């Protein structure tokens, strides 16, 4: 029996060592994806369009601003996208990168590489990016506008740390994490208006309403709930411990936070700002959206299949 146990221990040890070696060797997997032929231009109107997208519905500053400037982000102000904010999730500490045209940011990165990261989920070094950004189906013209604005920013020197994966995060990175790219044709341009069709584009391809208001697996990023029905639980570290907040249901089903809202109620609520300071909702940038943008999103949300679901979205202490 002892001999059998020794052999079993030896085999188990070899197996564990093999897994450790495999995980270590697969931490820097390189993925292939096309470099879109889109380039920044210096047209002031295009740069202004990009500024409105970046500081409005695309809410880039909500993640890529420095932590010190977050009060200005909440106030809807334009801020440098110098990076450094850490997402502390089960996968580890994921850092938002410096997006200013400084050598420590995107100064030495091509337009094609930036667009590939946004559209195909492949980073500047060929690594798979977490499926956080919703820009896979952003129109070519909007992508060019954002590129043009990013290039027009004032450079800010800020070296952002590399992501620090936890042990489960390293396993996910080694075997599960893959780039998220387009699943349908990319529009050349989308005309802004107040229709539900434009609201669908904003809610899914720019503002990431679906990304937060649909339940997801935090280990893989995969959607596991009904679209826009809420239930995505996020951690909020504070000096008093870690708190949880859950995204509410945005369909018209019973229990929806907007079930009985009028258009004017919806617009007023978005522009009111955060009632819970620890909210992950980008209230500041969203307050910069035009009446047309908000009308379009509201009309689109009202077309969604109603899901009956009541979500407790209040802030509560994590046990």
Q: Is residue 26 part of a domain?
A: no
Q: Is residue 13 part of a domain?
A: no
Q: What pLDDT sits at residue 255?
A: 94
Considering the domain architecture, whether residues 150 and 217 belong to the same structural domain is answered as no
- The pLDDT confidence band at residue 222, using thresholds 50, 70 and 90, is confident
Among the candidates 144, 176, 208, a domain finishes at: 176
235-280 pLDDT per residue, tens: 876 666 778 889 999 999 999 999 999 999 999 999 999 988 888 8
Would you say residue 5 has pLDDT above 90? no
Domain of residue 50, residue span? 44-176
Mean pLDDT of 185-194: 97
Q: Which residues lie below 8 Å from residue 297, measured CB to CB, with a gap of 6+?
A: 199, 202, 203, 207, 209, 289
- The pLDDT confidence band at residue 111, using thresholds 50, 70 and 90, is very high
Among the candidates 176, 209, 225, a domain finishes at: 176
Say how far apart CA 248 and CA 307 lie, in whole Å.
12
Considering the domain architecture, whether residues 220 and 276 belong to the same structural domain is answered as yes
Say how far apart CA 95 and CA 272 lie, in whole Å.
29
Whole-model pTM?
Answer: 0.92
Mean pLDDT of 85-100: 92
Considering the domain architecture, whether residues 278 and 159 belong to the same structural domain is answered as no
Query: Which residues is 95 bridged to in the sheet?
Result: 86
Q: Is residue 15 part of a domain?
A: no
Considering the domain architecture, whether residues 208 and 258 belong to the same structural domain is answered as yes
Q: What pLDDT sits at residue 18?
A: 76
Q: Is residue 9 part of a domain?
A: no
Say how far apart CA 36 and CA 10 lie, in whole Å.
51
Would you say residue 1 has pLDDT above 70? no
Q: Is residue 181 part of a domain?
A: no
Q: What pLDDT sits at residue 234?
A: 86
Query: Between these two residues, 278 and 116, which has the higher pLDDT value?
Result: 116
Q: Please name the residue ranges forming H helices in the chain.
A: 2-25, 44-54, 61-64, 70-74, 111-120, 140-152, 167-175, 196-205, 209-212, 263-272, 283-286, 291-301
Q: Is residue 56 part of a domain?
A: yes
What are the DSSP calls for 24-72, one per residue?
A: HHTTT---------------HHHHHHHHHHHTTTT-THHHHS-GGGHHH
Considering the domain architecture, whether residues 253 and 155 belong to the same structural domain is answered as no
Q: Based on the structure, what is the number of domains in the chain?
A: 2
Q: Is residue 16 part of a domain?
A: no
Considering the domain architecture, whether residues 120 and 231 belong to the same structural domain is answered as no
Mean pLDDT of 113-137: 94
Strands in 233-238's sheet, in edge-to-edge order, are 233-238, 241-246, 316-317
Considering the domain architecture, whether residues 224 and 313 belong to the same structural domain is answered as yes
Q: How far is CA 244 from the centre of its chain?
A: 18
Considering the domain architecture, whether residues 50 and 160 belong to the same structural domain is answered as yes
Among the candidates 128, 146, 176, a domain finishes at: 176
- Provide the sign of the torsion angle of the four alpha carbons 169, 170, 172, 178, taken in this order: positive
Helix (H, G, I), strand (E, B) or coil at 230: strand
Considering the domain architecture, whether residues 131 and 230 belong to the same structural domain is answered as no
Strand 92-95 vs strand 316-317: parallel, antiparallel, or unpaired? unpaired
Q: Which of 257, 304, 290 is nearest to 276 (CA)?
A: 257
Considering the domain architecture, whether residues 117 and 228 belong to the same structural domain is answered as no
Q: Which residues lie below 8 Å from residue 137, measured CB to CB, with a gap of 6+?
A: 182, 183, 184, 186, 187, 204, 205
Query: Between these two residues, 15 and 253, which has the higher pLDDT value?
Result: 253
Q: Is residue 108 part of a domain?
A: yes
Q: What percent of the chain has pLDDT over 90?
A: 76
Q: What pLDDT sits at residue 4?
A: 66
Q: Which of 318, 262, 248, 254 is nearest to 294 (CA)?
A: 262
Considering the domain architecture, whether residues 54 and 167 belong to the same structural domain is answered as yes
Average pLDDT, the chain: 92
Considering the domain architecture, whether residues 122 and 211 belong to the same structural domain is answered as no
Q: Which of 125, 127, 119, 147 is nearest to 47 (CA)?
A: 147
- The pLDDT confidence band at residue 317, using thresholds 50, 70 and 90, is confident
Q: Which of 131, 280, 304, 113 is nearest to 217 (CA)?
A: 131
36-75 pLDDT per residue, tens: 999 999 999 999 999 999 999 999 999 999 999 999 999 9
């Amino acid at each position: 029996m002892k001999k059998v146990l020794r052999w079993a221990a030896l085999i188990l040890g070899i197996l564990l060592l093999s897994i450790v070696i495999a995980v270590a060797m697969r931490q820097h997997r390189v993925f292939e994806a096309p470099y879109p032929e889109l380039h920044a231009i210096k047209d002031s109107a295009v740069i202004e369009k990009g500024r409105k997208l970046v500081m409005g519905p695309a809410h880039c500053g909500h993640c890529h601003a420095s932590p010190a400037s977050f009060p200005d982000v909440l106030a809807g102000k334009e801020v440098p996208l110098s990076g450094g904010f850490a997402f502390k999730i089960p996968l580890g500490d994921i850092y938002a990168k410096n997006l200013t045209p400084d050598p420590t940011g995107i100064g030495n990165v091509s337009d094609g590489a930036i667009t590939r990261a946004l559209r195909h989920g492949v980073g500047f070094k060929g690594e798979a990016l977490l499926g956080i950004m919703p820009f896979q189906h952003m129109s070519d013209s909007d992508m060019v506008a954002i590129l043009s604005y990013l290039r027009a920013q004032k450079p800010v020197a800020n070296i952002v740390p590399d992501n620090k994966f936890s042990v489960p995060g390293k396993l996910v990175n080694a075997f599960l994490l893959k780039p998220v790219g387009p699943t349908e044709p990319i529009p050349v341009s989308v005309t802004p208006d107040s229709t539900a069709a434009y609201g669908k584009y904003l809610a899914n391809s720019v503002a990431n309403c679906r990304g937060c208001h649909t339940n997801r697996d935090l280990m893989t990023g995969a959607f596991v709930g009904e679209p826009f029905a809420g239930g995505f639980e996020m951690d909020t570290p504070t000096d008093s411990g870690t708190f949880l907040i859950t995204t509410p249901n945005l369909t018209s089903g019973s229990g929806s936070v907007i079930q009985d809202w009028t258009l004017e109620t919806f617009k007023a609520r978005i522009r009111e700002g955060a009632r819970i300071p620890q909210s992950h909702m980008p209230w500041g940038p969203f307050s910069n959206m035009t009446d047309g943008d908000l009308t379009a999103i509201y009309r689109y949300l009202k077309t969604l299949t109603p899901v009956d679901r009541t979500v407790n979205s209040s802030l509560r202490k994590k046990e």
